[in-house]
A and B are shown apart, each in its own frame.
Chain A
Amino acid sequence: MFLPVSASIRQFARAVTADRMVGDELALAVSAEANQKNRNGAPPANRVEWFRRFVLRWREVMAEEASPKPFSNSAFIRSMGPMPSEARLVLLLNDVCGFSAREVQEILEPLSQPYEELLTEGRSLVRSDRGERSALIVEDEPLIAADLRDVLEDMGVIVVGMARTAEQGARQALKNSPDIVLADYNLDGQKTGVDAVAAFHDAHHCPVIFITGYPDEVLKGDEVEPDFVIVKPYRPEAVQAAVAHCLDAARYAAIDADAKTGAL
Chain B
Amino acid sequence: MTRIEFNHVFKAFGGGATRIQAVDGVSFSAEGGEVVGVLGPNGAGKTTIIRMLLDVFRPDAGEIRVDGALNGNRDDGFRRRVAYLPEERGLYQKRKLNDVIEYIGALRGMTRAETRERAAPLLKRFDLVDYAKKKVVTLSKGMSQKLQILLSVLHDPDVLIFDEPFSGLDPVNVRLVRQLVLEHRDRGKLVCLCTHMMAEVEALCDRVMMMHRGARVLYGPLDEIRRAHTDYQVSVDWEAQPEGLACVARVEKSDKLKNVFLKEGKSISDFMREMATAGRSVRKLSEGLRSIEDVFVSVVGGPVEAASEDVQ
**A and B co-occur in one complex:** no
